[in-house]
Structure 1
Amino acid sequence: MKKLWDINLLLDVGVDVFMKKFEYKLNTNYFNRELSWLEFNERVLNEACNSNTNPILERLKFLSIVSSNLDEFFMVRVASLFDQMLAGYNEPDIAGFTPREQIDLVALRVHKMIKDQYKCYNNSIIPALKKENIIILKPKKLNEKQKEFIDKFYYNTVYPVLTPMVVDRSRPFPLVLNQSLNIALLLENKEENEGPIFATVQVPSVLDRIVELPGEDDEKCFILLEDIIKMYIKTIFEGHNIITMACYRITRNTDQGLNEEEADDLLEAIQQYIKKRKWGMVIRLEIEKDMSTELLEILIREFEVPRETVYEINGPLDLTFLMKVQSIEGYDHLRYPAYVPQPVPELIGKEDIFSVISQKDILLHHPYQTFYPVIEFVRQAANDPDVLAIKQTLYRVSGNSPIVEALAQAAENGKQVTVLVELKARFDEQNNIIWAKRLEMAGCHVIYGLVGLKTHCKILLVVRREEDGIKRYVHMSTGNYNDITAKIYTDLGLFTANPYFGADASAIFNMLSGYSKLNKMYKLAVAPVTLRKKFEKLIRQEAVNAREGKKARIIANLNSLVDEGIINELYKASQAGVEIDLIVRGICCLRPGIEGLSERIRVKSIVGRFLEHRRIYYFYNDGEELVFLSSADWMGRNLNRRVEILFPIEDPDIKKRLMRILDACLKDTEKGRMLDKDGNYLKVSRKGKERLNCQEYFCKLAIEEAQKAVLEKTEKDL
């Protein structure tokens, strides 16, 4: 298969020149999805390199995230490109690239990114840690006390779990697990007049990758587990001379194809699907710098990987271990100032959450405000004798979910509990299977998602008997019912007792649990039924207003913008005169600033302390401003292949709050980057502007609002 490039040559002459030559060669109206995602990961890497505003331990976190992001990107997106190429699919994407060309472009871009990542690690992170007396040691730098500690640790803890695997005539090449860290070796063959023997040892994943060592009083010393194993590797190959050794790591295709249509039992099909992942095709091979050519050739041959997917790493493989270093105790001064999610002002001092919601809609802004009211809502419903039924969708939940426990308690208390647990939530399948079985054992009616669709909407319905009849309480959100990620993801949730929302929620759950059709919805637009048409109608109306000489504006705050149909509608709106501001955290295939096409469209990305995750959609609508929240991004999967919801915000005060959120994001000068027509993300010009970090602003605002509410309550009680 013909290659487009020679990796080493191109890295020398300059990746940027090459990228500009190929990136927009066929279709100038769109950015490639995969390259756009890599630009997002580049912005994460920039935060790791940013010593001006990010403390050193926070920089470790960003550097670790770069690695974990790349892992998933290869397992899913790059794997999909290989599947397409091997299946003979040669159709170009919206940017004009075939799967083969995308694989080549991605590989080149990732080679450059990894080179920059390890330059940051070696030249900036490690020296900065050392200044703070946090030291990651290599074997040559150990003192006698540390060597004694390692000796005991190795023989007592490491040695018993090591399993050497030798390849010879009677022992075939072993199955190497996805994302496992391994040490490859060549051993001198003393018994046969043949070449050296290949062996491999997995670095045990059951042990901590980073091992703390004794140090001076003011020092925190660590060593990597693979370095300890290398020090004692001869103990598991007694009688053999070791010629060479080096670490390696593989990434497999985890998307092995789930045939839902032919599955009699979706739960069993998902469990088999998870098991298949360990057999997936190897699509990336990471090797330690200066691995011998002979070792490398064996790995390439056995794993059948193209050479462009081999990544030589100038440092420790898989930097996700840095998260463990980042979490060490006693170094809070090297992190962001601690932030505690604030209480929701409307709920301060209120014990009965239902009485508060029945009076007024309540907006929650996480992680600035606490997720606790959502948990308490389910708990109160579980123990309230007047609550008849609870219905909820669960996409990703935490490992020790208080919401799941509350739902189980509700069923045990005799409530009718219906839970849709989406088993197809990628990489959370096993966790969700465990929770589904726990809920079933408690007596909940559990639905395992829908065939052909992922249920991605976040909606919770409580049916309660009250003096004036049955009343429905609803919570809808842009993010998951996950108490852990609610502390680091920016999301919005709405509590409402509006009967129209309640009727729509009932209709959605009837559709999910049975064969009911969504014939009439009062407030909600639902994918894949009506959501695309709703967005198109809203965008087109702004274009109509602009053509009539009226003010027209669209603001969207979302995670990804990929869908070609939506992009084209935005282009048409821009051409009609609509002013469009897009706050897109990750992938953006729309090209802003092209004369005659998108000169009225501005795209901004914010990467900061918290992961931007909320979805807000605003339309000026000739002065009658419309604001919506949604679980959906503007991606084909969200609009066509998932169950998603879009819900309007009608309370004037909440609408104003959301407008302030959008305004602060648009004014961010610290963590915001503007996308230009060539695909570059540029720092926001601060000329004539007030310095603003919108995430810090939201933290301060939440504190001020909570303090004000506490003061008002105190004065009222007096």
Structure 2
Amino acid sequence: MKRALYRSASRHGKKYINRDLSWIEFNRRVLEEAEDPSTPLLERLQFLSITASNLDEFMGVRVAGLKDQRKAGLNKTDFTGYTPQGLIKRIMKRTERFVRDQYRTYRELMRLLSREGVSIVSWDELSPTQGEALKTYFQDIVYPVLTPMAVDVSRPFPLVHSREVYLAVVLRPLVPDPKNEDRTYCAIVQVPSILPRAVLVPGRRNSRKQSYLLLEDLIKRHIGLLFSGYATEAVHAFRVTRNSDLTLNEEEAEDLLQELEKELRRRRRGFPVRLEIEKGMHLDALELLKDELELDDDPYEIEGPLDLSFLSKFAGSLAGFDHLRYPKAEPVYPAEFDDEDDILAVIRDRDVLVYHPYESFEVVNDFLIDAAADPDVLAIKMTLYRVDAHSVLVQALVKAAESGKQVTVVVELKARFDEERNIAWARVLERAGCHVVYGLAGLKTHAKVTLVVRREDGTLRRYVHVGTGNYNESTAKFYTDAGLFTCHPDIGADASALFNEMTGYSTPHDWRAFAVAPDALKPKLFDLIDREIEYARAGQPARITAKMNSLSNQAMIDKLYEASQAGVTIELIVRGVCCLRPGVPGLSENIRIISIVDRFLEHSRILSVAAGGEEEVYITSADWMTRNLTRRVEVMCPVYDRSLRAMLLNLLRINLSDNVKARELKPGGGYERVKGELAPLRSQFELADIPLWKTVGEYLYGTTVNEREARGSTPKSS
């Protein structure tokens, strides 16, 4: 058995799992949630929609990058043993299977939904009365926004936007050309994304059933109205995914904001990576698309509606079907602040840990709102990576600046697919008088830190919030993330130094509490792992427990292999990409890795090490990926308060005990659902009972939360 395990890990001489193939496995785990009969039906549609959005981004970024390498003639193998060409072939095979499974799942979900009285129908299923009503809708609402784009000698092939659904129309003139009677003409029509993709069909009076017609089917039915003098020979849907990555020369850019705006316009014309076509597309239209788009690979022929991401809005818009959804989640306001009018006073007294979405993100908003209104607050500094479209935090920063406070905001303009929104917010902040900084050249600012400086009794006190997730009210409702509020002097000093480095010319800081990428985080992690190795070799308990989104840095994986071989027990909760092979004899038999995919997106990054007895616990913005450790500004922050450490340790233990939504990574690179003889434990449902896990946390170390007086000595973790 051991020999078979070793062979599976060393197949083709590989001791690592390829990052992109691991990502496909992650998206398959999401698809499994759509396939799972125990998941509420409309939630299954949401998961299916997520798989489509995920695949779009993967194609537009990761596959696009590989195709760039192939075009450049690069044939070097990566550390997992793949050349760009070889990896593209493997990805395409797996993706084709994945897409087939997506649409098989779609058909099954539509069948189940029809039993509940909701159907997506074809035009032929409509009654004459319904057809007339939808024709009126087309003429009044749809027709005015359509733009037919002919393709001929005088009108070149139009710009086809990435990820939009189009119709390719093949036409014949009603009066044929005597010189070329077989000639056809082609035109392109965009299906307007500004209109609902699923159009409600007028139903029978008093009927509870709801029928919908897809917008492209409505347009197809009336396409002849756009092309008078021509007969429609064929009309089929298609969709293009373009290279969505940005290539900025930050060193030579005179104005980074303007340069990014130019690059965003270039993105619209990025080279095509993928072509999806409706099954049975007319050969004339297909040849036109292949010639004009200059695709290297065959198109994906889809048997069903293109772009299943529309299912998210569709499922969310259905009223009266709450029994087909998860029970509504109501985040609780953190108990530590619930009966207090002064948030800053609570933080002065003790550190507070909050965990979203179980606890409301409103406390972060209120922290900044109170600071903005407090006359004794002199300065506010904050990092913004992905910002909500209607950000309360930005409005609080604006008010703080307008009231005369020093407000500094580090806005990351290069947050992929949020660039335009961040540009807009940066301009709002600048107009209000905030000092807006766009980070350091060549690095993304991914740290999540807020610093409030307040005048108190003739001195200054720093209040700090450090988080694992973005300052985004919308995503905080369904991303799991931890946030620490503290006045600890070492953390406050490091927060000040961090902002000075990002906004000025400060030399690298001698960090007291923080470990900051790109220079100090990876060495700190290695030091912590090396210390556990020494404990293991000395026969003492040695353990590493970590939770993150992705693990793909080769040096970090090798260090974990070294720790496993030394006898360190390693338990990892890695939601997405994982390039480490666990459980391989002689290499990683002491490493266990699980992934949890459930109602909420597991997003928090937490690390604990045994530290010879009293565990050290850290929260961080960084995954263990090369980009996070070497090309981003990231922060790892210790949790000094013993009871808060106990809470996070308990949280990790609950995650690791999940035997309902957890899958365990096997040596061969596949995942299997965790099975056990214990009663079912679904970690997200357990954590929804906030008083339970916080109470257990305090029980482990006693009820004393305030350790302010005990912090006079240098913390062990520094």
**TM-score, normalised relative to structure 2:** 0.93
Does residue 1:69 correspond to 2:58, yes or no?
no
Match of 2:670 in 1: 680
Match of 2:72 in 1: 87
CA positional deviation for 1:655? 0.4
1:492-540, CA deviations, whole angstroms, 9 ceiling, x for partnerless residues?
0000011111100000000011011233111000001100100011111
Indicate if the aligned counterparts of 2:687 and 2:693 stay in contact, CA closer than 8 A.
no
Q: Distance in 2 between matches of 1:583 and 1:451?
A: 32
Q: Distance in 1 between matches of 2:679 and 2:690?
A: 17
Match of 1:369 in 2: 359
Q: Secondary structure at the match of 1:424?
A: coil
**Pairing of 1:373-384 with structure 2 (within 5 A):** 373-384=363-374
User: Structure 1 604/141 Cα, relative in aligned 2: closer, same or farther at 3 Å?
Assistant: same
Q: Secondary structure at the match of 1:241?
A: strand
Q: Secondary structure at the match of 2:689?
A: helix
CA positional deviation for 1:702? 4.8
Match of 1:614 in 2: 604
Indicate if the aligned counterparts of 2:9 and 2:581 stay in contact, CA closer than 8 A.
no
1:515-568, CA deviations, whole angstroms, 9 ceiling, x for partnerless residues?
112331110000011001000111111111111111111111000000000000
Gaps of 5+ in 2: 1-5, 699-718
Segments of 4+ in structure 1 off by > 2 A? 20-27, 189-192, 292-295, 700-706
Indicate if the aligned counterparts of 1:617 and 1:628 stay in contact, CA closer than 8 A.
yes
Q: Secondary structure at the match of 2:225?
A: helix
Does residue 1:480 correspond to 2:470, yes or no?
yes
Q: Secondary structure at the match of 2:510?
A: coil
Indicate if the aligned counterparts of 2:439 and 2:503 stay in contact, CA closer than 8 A.
no
Letter in structure 2 aligned against 1:71: D
Moved more, 367-376 or 513-522: 513-522
CA positional deviation for 1:584? 0.2
Indicate if the aligned counterparts of 2:647 and 2:693 stay in contact, CA closer than 8 A.
no
Match of 1:529 in 2: 519
Indicate if the aligned counterparts of 1:27 and 1:95 stay in contact, CA closer than 8 A.
no
Indicate if the aligned counterparts of 1:368 and 1:702 stay in contact, CA closer than 8 A.
no
Match of 1:358 in 2: 348
Moved more, 193-202 or 435-444: 193-202
Match of 1:692 in 2: 681
Match of 1:136 in 2: 120
Indicate if the aligned counterparts of 1:267 and 1:433 stay in contact, CA closer than 8 A.
yes
Q: Distance in 2 between matches of 1:41 and 1:535?
A: 28
CA positional deviation for 1:705? 6.6
Match of 2:163 in 1: 179
Match of 1:272 in 2: 262
1:252-280, CA deviations, whole angstroms, 9 ceiling, x for partnerless residues?
01124111111011001110010001111
Match of 2:578 in 1: 588
Match of 2:200 in 1: 212
Cα root mean square deviation, aligned? 1.8
Match of 1:387 in 2: 377
**TM-score, normalised relative to structure 1:** 0.93
Q: Distance in 1 between matches of 2:189 and 2:648?
A: 54
CA positional deviation for 1:363? 0.2
Q: Secondary structure at the match of 2:577?
A: coil
Q: Distance in 1 between matches of 2:666 and 2:197?
A: 41
Indicate if the aligned counterparts of 2:650 and 2:693 stay in contact, CA closer than 8 A.
no
CA positional deviation for 1:467? 1.4
CA positional deviation for 1:180? 1.2
Q: Distance in 2 between matches of 1:357 and 1:508?
A: 21
Aligned length in residues = 686
Letter in structure 1 aligned against 2:119: I
Indicate if the aligned counterparts of 2:22 and 2:577 stay in contact, CA closer than 8 A.
yes
Match of 2:146 in 1: 162
CA positional deviation for 1:196? 1.2
Match of 2:243 in 1: 253
Moved more, 73-82 or 137-146: 137-146
Q: Distance in 2 between matches of 1:552 and 1:202?
A: 60
**Pairing of 1:310-459 with structure 2 (within 5 A):** 310-327=299-316, 328-459=318-449
User: Structure 1 230/365 Cα, relative in aligned 2: closer, same or farther at 3 Å?
Assistant: same
1:428-471, CA deviations, whole angstroms, 9 ceiling, x for partnerless residues?
00000000000011110000122100000000000000115110
Indicate if the aligned counterparts of 1:342 and 1:702 stay in contact, CA closer than 8 A.
no
Does residue 1:465 correspond to 2:449, yes or no?
no
**Pairing of 1:189-204 with structure 2 (within 5 A):** 189=173, 190-191=176-177, 193=180, 195-204=183-192
User: Structure 1 273/183 Cα, relative in aligned 2: closer, same or farther at 3 Å?
Assistant: same
Q: Distance in 2 between matches of 1:207 and 1:418?
A: 39
Indicate if the aligned counterparts of 1:167 and 1:199 stay in contact, CA closer than 8 A.
yes
Q: 1:109 aligns with which of 87, 94, 109?
A: 94
Match of 2:631 in 1: 641
CA positional deviation for 1:213? 1.8
Match of 2:15 in 1: 29
Q: Distance in 2 between matches of 1:339 and 1:188?
A: 56
Q: Secondary structure at the match of 1:570?
A: helix
1:561-589, CA deviations, whole angstroms, 9 ceiling, x for partnerless residues?
00000000000000111111110000000
Indicate if the aligned counterparts of 2:22 and 2:579 stay in contact, CA closer than 8 A.
yes
Indicate if the aligned counterparts of 2:448 and 2:467 stay in contact, CA closer than 8 A.
yes
Match of 1:100 in 2: 85
Q: 2:129 aligns with which of 142, 145, 166?
A: 145
CA positional deviation for 1:242? 1.6
Letter in structure 2 aligned against 1:700: D
Q: Secondary structure at the match of 2:353?
A: strand
Letter in structure 1 aligned against 2:313: K
Match of 2:710 in 1: none
Letter in structure 1 aligned against 2:21: L
CA positional deviation for 1:22? 12
1:206-235, CA deviations, whole angstroms, 9 ceiling, x for partnerless residues?
212121122243112211110000010111
User: Structure 1 704/629 Cα, relative in aligned 2: closer, same or farther at 3 Å?
Assistant: closer
CA positional deviation for 1:24? 6.6
Letter in structure 2 aligned against 1:212: L
Indicate if the aligned counterparts of 2:9 and 2:15 stay in contact, CA closer than 8 A.
no
Q: 1:489 aligns with which of 479, 486, 489?
A: 479
User: Structure 1 24/578 Cα, relative in aligned 2: closer, same or farther at 3 Å?
Assistant: closer
Letter in structure 2 aligned against 1:225: L
User: Structure 1 202/702 Cα, relative in aligned 2: closer, same or farther at 3 Å?
Assistant: farther
Indicate if the aligned counterparts of 2:557 and 2:580 stay in contact, CA closer than 8 A.
yes
Q: Secondary structure at the match of 1:307?
A: coil
Letter in structure 1 aligned against 2:539: G
Q: Distance in 2 between matches of 1:23 and 1:274?
A: 42
